[in-house]
Amino acid sequence: MHRVVVTGLGPVSGIGIGVNEFTDGLRSGRSAAAPITSFDASGFPHHFAGEVPAFRPEALLRRLRVDEWGRSALFAAAAARLAAMDAGLSLPATDPARVGAVVGTTSGESTVVEQLTAELVAGGYPAMSAEALRQAPAERLSYAVSAELGLAGESVTLTTACSASNYAIGYAYDLLCWGEADVMLAGGADSVCRWAHAGFYRLGALTERACRPFDRDRSGILTGEGGAALVLETLEHAQDRGARIYAEVLGYGVNCDAHHMVAPNEESVAACMRLAQANAGVKPEDIDYISTHGTGTPANDLCEARAIRAVFGDRVPPVSSIKSMLGHTMGAASGFGAIATTLGIRHGFLPPTINWANPDPELSWIDPVPNTARPATVRVAQNNGFAFGGNNAITIFGAIR
């Protein structure tokens, strides 16, 4: 069994592109929330989202032809390129077959599918463009990463919705532990799209302008987008090449509610925390910080807080939700959570929950690190991800010892 470490980070987000901007965004509590520009949102009562208007794929990518890939694939590949540069990986690798990619997503190439829908509405099925049809399959997200970086190892896209990045990190961790790869790019990507905006609105889960997790008056999510990538490698491989090590991946857990497609399940979420902690070989009292799923809906935050209480008892560590800053970036969300967690461990701070104004008396045990980042020693941290379909996935990171 190999130990697995994080050596590179690649955030492409609404609060910063690249690790320096993103770290600065977390520390200063920046918000990505802004009026939607990627589609005409004028007919929607709520028209804010956490987009990445500064994303210029052609400025970040070296090998991919931008017009051959959908927006989510470009997010994934750009994030991976940034992570590889941050890690100082020399590419192509000496043995490209020992380097792979795992990418998580909720809606895959949603904007490509929306283009197909528009073509269908305008001219019927035969009007759908063959090029868009070729770009639509979700596996193209990990293939974009592999093609951009010249990786010949396993390349797989996990479509387990909003916890998919944690699935990806967990699977990559296993492959590295087991010696099946030396380096893995792991993370997630999704794009803001009209149908998800409509769906969340009609579920009553969409807030108007500001996402305020764990606040008494929280009223829902903001849809968001972006790409999150981490370079994971075996400790020996990192040491042999003299890499800077941010943190260690200690383990992860996944389980399924088997209860309801949309509503979270407290008992199952708590069980997933216990699975992840057991897999990582840590106890609740070892954990200094939780990066929560923290969507900002009344139901999620209550369920998550109760599950935390059930697992941590009277010793609940500080928690925060970076969705307050980024919006809900769907399949990328727990990837951004992993990056934020890793940065907190490396630099000694807790990212804040912004837009927080009033404590919720029903969540009295929750310290959401309100509004301002906080200096702290973080030895072990837990990164929560939950999803439609009851797909829970939690990763655990620790300071390198």
Partner 1 sequence: MTALVSGWGVLSAAGESVTELLAAVRAGTVVGVDVGDRFDEPLPTAQAPAIADFDVRRLLGRKGTSFLDRATALAMVACGRALADGGLTPDDDNRHRVGVVLGTTTGSLKSTMDFSRETLVQDKPYLVNPVLFPNTVMNCASGQAAIRYGLRGVNATVAGGPLAFLYALRYALNALRRGYVDALLVGGVEEYTPNTAWAAELTGAGPAGEAAAVYLLRRPTPGLTGAPRAQVLAVATGFQPEQGVDGLTGCVRRALATAKVRPPDVWAVASGDLDADSLSEVLPAAAQRLSVRPALGDCQSATGALALGVLLGRYAEDPAARGRPALIVGRSRDGAVAAAVVRG
Neighbours of 217 (CB within 10 A): 12
3-class secondary-structure state, position 288: coil
- 56 versus 260: smaller Cβ distance to partner 1: 260
CB of 189 to partner 1, least distance (A): 12
Instruction: Give the DSSP H/E element, type plus range, for residue 270.
Output: helix 266-280
Determine the interface stretch with partner 1 among 76-84, 159-167, 229-237, 289-297 (rule: CB under 8 A): 159-167
Options 258, 314, 315, 401; binder of partner 1; rule CB under 8 A: 258
Region 51-110 residues binding partner 1, contact defined as CB under 8 A: 97, 100-101, 105-110
Region 260-279 residues binding partner 1, contact defined as CB under 8 A: 260-262, 268, 271
Options 155, 166, 292, 300; binder of partner 1; rule CB under 8 A: 155
Q: Distance between CA 196 and CA 209 in Å, rounded?
A: 16
3-class secondary-structure state, position 32: coil
What HEC string does 337-392 produce?
HHHHHHHHHHHCEECCECCCCCECHHHCCCCCCECCCEECCCCEEEEEECCHHHEE
Among the options 162, 211, 272, 303, which is catalytic? 162
**Which among 66, 70, 83 is positioned nearest to 22, based on CA atoms?**
83
The yes-or-no answer on residue 303 being catalytic is no
Q: Which residue has the tokens 């104004």?
A: 357
- 30 versus 197: smaller Cβ distance to partner 1: 197
CB of 186 to partner 1, least distance (A): 14
Using CA of residue 358, residue 330, residue 100, residue 77, what is the dihedral sign?
Answer: negative
CB of 240 to partner 1, least distance (A): 23
Options 9, 19, 32, 147; binder of partner 1; rule CB under 8 A: 147
Contacts for 165 with CB less than 8 Å, ≥ 6 apart: 104, 186, 187, 188, 228, 331, 332, 333, 334, 335, 336, 337, 338, 385
Region 327-386 residues binding partner 1, contact defined as CB under 8 A: none
The yes-or-no answer on residue 162 being catalytic is yes
Region 194-233 residues binding partner 1, contact defined as CB under 8 A: 194-203
Q: Distance between CA 266 and CA 190 in Å, rounded?
A: 26
- 224 versus 390: smaller Cβ distance to partner 1: 390
CB of 247 to partner 1, least distance (A): 21
Determine the interface stretch with partner 1 among 18-26, 40-48, 313-321, 350-358 (rule: CB under 8 A): 40-48
Among the options 2, 47, 197, 293, which is catalytic? 293
The yes-or-no answer on residue 293 being catalytic is yes
Residues with catalytic annotation? 162, 293, 328
